[in-house]
Amino acid sequence: MQSQKLTHMAKKLSILALILVCALCAHAETLVLRTGARVKGNIVFQNEEVVIIRDAEGARFQYMRGDIEQVLAADPEEENLSALADDQTIATPKKVSIALELFGGAACVPNGITGGAAGADLLVGSHHIGSRHLFIGGGLGYRGMFFPEDSYNFLPIQVALRMPFLEQKHAPFFGIALGYGIALSKDYLGGLYAGIDFGYRYQINEKSALVLAAFAQFQQAKIEVAEMVDEIEFIQKANRNIVIPGVKLAIFF
């Protein structure tokens, strides 16, 4: 009888020891998000786009790779310190990105004159806003508009917003820009500048991306216009809105 009790107790101790070993061997991590938040648990799945983590209560959460600042191995001392300061914000370094955009298209004036257009933009701004790949910045550009008899060149000073609709490696893309186009000649004057983009974004890595988009841009200008009065041609400066539809290639790095 005593031998059976000892055997039963030994089995219980073996099961308890196995549970303790499994608990000690469980590989726990802490995800540090770009928002400053920390998520602790066991990573159950991960690839180049997403990470799925299970917390202590068994709930599963999915995060995009681009939203994760770093992955830390759980440390008992760190857990205790974190428990004392859960409401403290963890500072994360600011992310800055540069966007180089090249484009070409047609230039159209409402009176029916059509020509060609080409240009480039260099923008500097944020890389992330919150947990999104949202670019907000500003910069300079160049606009060359070439008509059969005249050409007009502008230097747009602008603020711009560029964002994907989805936080995925392949995603539709949207952008807007507002600013002022400075005329690069005394023969004409510049004015308000605006642009809108729709296209496709390919996320190369956490910070770099390629964008191919269709765009439409609007430039106010005061240019020389010929008018006929009693069969006499008069040249005067008049306000004209130049519209540029075309295709744009951009890289963010």
Average pLDDT taken over every residue of the chain: 79
DSSP 65: G
Per-residue confidence band for 169, with pLDDT thresholds at 50, 70 and 90 = confident
Task: Answer whether residue 103 shows pLDDT above 70.
Answer: yes
Per-residue confidence band for 7, with pLDDT thresholds at 50, 70 and 90 = low
Phi and psi at residue 145, to the nearest 5°: -120, 125
Question: CA 69 to CA 48: how far, in whole Å?
Answer: 14
Per-residue confidence band for 229, with pLDDT thresholds at 50, 70 and 90 = low
- Indicate the pTM of the whole model: 0.60
Given this model, what pLDDT does residue 27 score? 54
Question: Could you tell me the CA-to-CA distances from 138 to 79, 159, 215, 216, 243 in Å, in that order?
Answer: 41, 4, 18, 18, 21
Task: Answer whether residue 199 shows pLDDT above 90.
Answer: yes
* pLDDT tens-digit map of 12-69: 545 544 444 444 444 578 888 877 788 888 888 888 788 888 887 888 888 888 788 8
Given this model, what pLDDT does residue 131 score? 66
Given this model, what pLDDT does residue 129 score? 72
Q: What is the per-residue burial (b if ≥16 Cβ within 10 Å, else e) of 40-75?
A: bbeeeeeeeebbebeeeeeeeeebbbbbbbeeeeee
Give the up-direction half-sphere exposure of residue 70: CA atoms within 13 A in the CB hemisphere.
Answer: 6
Question: CA 211 to CA 247: how far, in whole Å?
Answer: 11
Higher confidence at residue 198 or residue 26? 198
Given this model, what pLDDT does residue 179 score? 97
Given this model, what pLDDT does residue 75 score? 54
Given this model, what pLDDT does residue 30 score? 85
* pLDDT tens-digit map of 66-94: 788 888 875 545 544 444 444 444 444 45
**Ordered domains of the chain (ranges, CATH):** 2-84 (2.30.30.100), 96-252 (2.40.160.20)
What is the rounded average pLDDT of the residues 114-124? 95
Question: CA 157 to CA 152: how far, in whole Å?
Answer: 16
Task: Answer whether residue 232 shows pLDDT above 90.
Answer: no
Task: Answer whether residue 211 shows pLDDT above 90.
Answer: yes
Task: Answer whether residue 135 shows pLDDT above 70.
Answer: yes
Distance from chain centroid for Cα 179: 20
